[in-house]
């Protein structure tokens, strides 16, 4: 019996690398993609050695509009069919909307919105034809709460992934394809180093944080159950519920106050 085959974007660190390790432990063959070839190759060697699986490395930058088709063409040329798609690649853009040039925003939208949408479109029909498939779109708790000042497009992009996943889940469940928006809150990773907010983030209490391994373990269980949206961590689920019950004006005021603690609103 052949192994399930998974494509993971943003696989070089954090949640993406945790997905690679946990799916490898479950016996999946893998395609890992990100921009950092050295990290991908190191992870691939580790997983081949530990689990005896096939791991291919496909270095690419999803800010390139041609990247999704290039990835799918590379898999097709190898005769590989994707059973699990993990749309994980992402990052944050520090500062306010006006403080960044359009090229910066365009690249962000390509990586966070267009690439996962296109990869899903290109791979979904094969999953439906085979009667099985799993798609996890790594969204965020930020997609459930009011958007803060700074990092302007991040919460908006994650809200899109949530709604996109809900619709896909309803459209494809009967065909054996489960789709889940995984919505972690604060997660230990390199994300906040890249956005230059590590000093601010370190001031948050420990109970606010989850490890990437915990996030992924809960996400895999959620998509297998058929959950269209899943928020890992009791604290995060409580935050979402409280915000939903608040009047919009109060929720926005709280977002404005709290975002100063962890968002970079400077250029």
d(CA 84, CA 126): 11
Torsions phi, psi for 264 (to 5 deg): -95, 110
Residue 95, token pair as written in the block: 């500062």
Contact indicator for 116, 139 with CB cutoff of 8 Å: no
Catalytic residue among 91, 154, 160, 262: 154
**DSSP category for residue 189:** S
- With a CB cutoff of 8 Å and minimum separation 6, the contacts of 212 are 14, 15, 17, 18, 187, 188, 189
Q: Is residue 262 annotated as part of the catalytic site, yes or no?
A: no
DSSP notation for 123-153: HHHHHHHHT-EEEEEE--GGGGSPPPSSSHH
User: First-to-last CA distance in the chain?
Assistant: 54
Partners of 138 in the β-ladder: 182
Q: Which residues are catalytic?
A: 154
């Amino acid at each position: 019996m052949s192994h399930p085959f998974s494509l993971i974007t943003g696989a070089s660190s954090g949640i993406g690398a945790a997905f690679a390790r946990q799916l490898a432990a479950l016996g999946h063959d893998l395609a890992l993609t990100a921009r950092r070839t050295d990290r991908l190759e190191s992870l691939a060697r580790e997983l081949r050695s530990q689990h005896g699986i096939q791991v291919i490395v496909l270095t690419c930058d999803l800010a390139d509009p041609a990247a999704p088709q290039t990835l799918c063409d590379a898999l097709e040329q190898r005769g590989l069919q994707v059973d699990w798609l993990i749309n994980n690649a992402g990052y944050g853009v520090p500062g306010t909307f006006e403080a960044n040039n359009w090229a910066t925003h365009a690249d962000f939208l390509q990586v966070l919105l267009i690439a996962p949408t296109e990869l899903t479109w290109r791979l979904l029909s094969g999953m439906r034809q085979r009667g099985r498939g799993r798609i996890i779109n790594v969204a965020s708790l930020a997609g459930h709460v009011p958007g803060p000042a700074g990092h302007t497009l991040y919460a908006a992009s994650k809200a899109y992934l949530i709604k996109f996943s809900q619709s896909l889940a309803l459209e494809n469940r009967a065909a054996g394809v489960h789709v889940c928006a995984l919505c972690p809150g604060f997660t230990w990773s390199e994300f906040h180093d890249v956005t230059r907010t590590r000093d601010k983030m370190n001031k948050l209490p420990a109970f606010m944080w989850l490890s990437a391994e915990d996030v992924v373990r809960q996400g895999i269980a959620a998509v297998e159950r058929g959950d269209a949206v899943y928020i890992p961590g009791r604290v995060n689920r409580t935050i979402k519920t409280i915000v939903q019950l608040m009047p919009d004006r109060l929720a926005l005021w709280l977002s404005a106050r709290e975002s100063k603690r962890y968002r970079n609103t400077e250029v």
